[in-house]
Amino acid sequence: MSYNKFSATQLFDGYNFLPTGTVLITSVKGEIIDTVASEDAGDDVQHLKGILSPGFINCHCHLELSHLKNTIPQQTGLVNFLQHVMSNIAASNEEKLAAMQSAENELYKTGIVAVGDICNTADTIPIKQHSKIHWHNFIEVSGFVETGAQKRLKEIKKIADQFSILNFKFSTVPHAPYSVSKKLFELLNTLPNNNLISIHNQESEEESKLYKNKTGIFLELYKNFGIDISKFNSSGKTSLQTWLPYFTNNQRIIAVHNTFISKEDLTFTKSYIENRTSNIAFCLCPNANLYIENNLPPIDLLVKNNCTIVLGTDSLASNHQLNMLEEIKTIQQYYPKIELQTLLQWATSNGAAALQMKEKLGSFEKGKKPGLVLIEKNLKESKRIL
Ligand SMILES: [Zn+2]
């Protein structure tokens, strides 16, 4: 059996930077054999310039929206953004497929080995069938009118079945607090074999206005789309404090965006999950937040509260690229005190755990096959090398 041996300017193992000179040994196919000191590594060590890291885990993307790249105006707020996405900008099937294929290539080449991908349709299946990336498909359901909940779930099951029949990993998940009724949340809570939940959370300040006292710009959105919300009662609490208790079956939850999460929300979350085996990871997509709302989540507050943080790119409808390094750089720019080692951990081992893929991905531990990524030129570029 022959091996690959790599050393690099810096070697990051998914958790920490390893001592200078450490050599990573893998099989030819990229399975991790060991990390050893340089004096124990023998001959034929390839030296790489840059940071060598396990492959990135992108916990939030919408591959099916790739054709919307550069079509939606920036910084107009979430409600305007949603109206643009829902207006179904014309694209042929060929154009959609070409855009998704080019996005998948970008994900792969820049070092992303796994994606948590939101699916409202089965459009991405032809791309995923030929992809070397690991996918967890979040089949997303919405419906804010209580009486339509059963029907919505039935409709989305037809999409889920198309993933299921091909043995893709998937779970059925709520879109967002402002688009899912209490009844639909309750149905999702009891759906069998549906442990991994993703939800867009507190992406706009308007979401909490809706839940606290049934006011704000979402009321206009419902009116524009002819959605009757007369039966919706405000809870008097923030959206997070309202929807989280709907999940009572120890689900693993990825809350995405969290742009307007508060200290009280975090205290609430901590006490809610304390006595359960459920956990919650907070997924940050800073470039999408800047694109849509020109705002960023309180990342320092999440760090201070020891929250589990993971990263995502969101879609090309709200981002100029699907590149995890660009998300890392944006966080560094606005939160320079957060160490690179921490950011890389969010992008690798934390993401792998959140997507329930840590057996294989996220770190340089014996037996895993996490993909090798080289981050070059002072964080300018990343590329998959194995
Ligand atoms: Zn999203």
One domain, residues 296 and 373: no
Kindly give the distance from the C-alpha atom of residue 286 to the centroid of ligand 1, in angstroms, as a whole number: 12
Kindly give the distance from the C-alpha atom of residue 176 to the centroid of ligand 1, in angstroms, as a whole number: 9
Residue 169 pLDDT more than 70?
yes
| pLDDT band at 44; cut points 50, 70, 90 | very high
One domain, residues 383 and 276: no
Q: What is the pLDDT of residues 246-273, one digit of tens each?
A: 999 999 999 999 999 999 999 999 999 8
Kindly give the distance from the C-alpha atom of residue 132 to the centroid of ligand 1, in angstroms, as a whole number: 22
For residue 315, give both structure tokens: 């879609």
- Tell me the CA end-to-end span of the chain in Å, nearest whole number: 17
One domain, residues 26 and 106: no
Residue 194 pLDDT more than 90?
yes
Kindly give the distance from the C-alpha atom of residue 366 to the centroid of ligand 1, in angstroms, as a whole number: 34
| Nearest residue to 109 (alpha-carbon basis) of 289, 376, 314 | 376
One domain, residues 328 and 282: yes
One domain, residues 148 and 28: no
Kindly give the distance from the C-alpha atom of residue 314 to the centroid of ligand 1, in angstroms, as a whole number: 5
Residue 348 pLDDT more than 70?
yes
* Contact assessment for residue 93 and residue 115, using Cβ atoms and an 8 Å cutoff: no
pTM assigned to the model: 0.97
How open is the CA angle 76-182-209, to the nearest 5 degrees?
35
- What is the CATH classification number for the domain harbouring 13? 2.30.40.10
* Contact assessment for residue 285 and residue 295, using Cβ atoms and an 8 Å cutoff: no
- What is the CATH classification number for the domain harbouring 258? 3.20.20.140
* Mean pLDDT, residues 131-141: 98
Protein residues near ligand 1, an ion, with CB under 5 A:
314
- Region of residue 244 (left: phi > 0; alpha: psi -120 to 50; beta: else): alpha
Kindly give the distance from the C-alpha atom of residue 380 to the centroid of ligand 1, in angstroms, as a whole number: 25
Kindly give the distance from the C-alpha atom of residue 317 to the centroid of ligand 1, in angstroms, as a whole number: 9
Domain total of the chain? 2
Kindly give the distance from the C-alpha atom of residue 134 to the centroid of ligand 1, in angstroms, as a whole number: 18
Kindly give the distance from the C-alpha atom of residue 62 to the centroid of ligand 1, in angstroms, as a whole number: 6
Kindly give the distance from the C-alpha atom of residue 205 to the centroid of ligand 1, in angstroms, as a whole number: 16
Kindly give the distance from the C-alpha atom of residue 276 to the centroid of ligand 1, in angstroms, as a whole number: 27
Q: What pLDDT, on a 0 to 100 scale, did the predictor assign at position 88? A: 67
More confident of the two residues 225 and 211: 211
Containing structural domain, residue 17: 1-54+362-386
One domain, residues 94 and 214: yes
Tokens 């030929």 belong to: 130
Kindly give the distance from the C-alpha atom of residue 203 to the centroid of ligand 1, in angstroms, as a whole number: 9
Residues 350 and 355: their CA atoms lie apart, in Å, by 9
Q: What is the pLDDT of residues 310-341, one digit of tens each?
A: 999 999 999 999 999 999 999 999 999 999 99
Residues 352 and 147: their CA atoms lie apart, in Å, by 37
Q: What pLDDT, on a 0 to 100 scale, did the predictor assign at position 78? A: 87
One domain, residues 205 and 288: yes
**Residues across the chain:** 386
Kindly give the distance from the C-alpha atom of residue 83 to the centroid of ligand 1, in angstroms, as a whole number: 14
Q: How far is CA 264 from each of CA 21, 38, 116, rounded to the nearest angstrom?
A: 45, 49, 28
Q: What pLDDT, on a 0 to 100 scale, did the predictor assign at position 66? A: 96
Kindly give the distance from the C-alpha atom of residue 315 to the centroid of ligand 1, in angstroms, as a whole number: 7
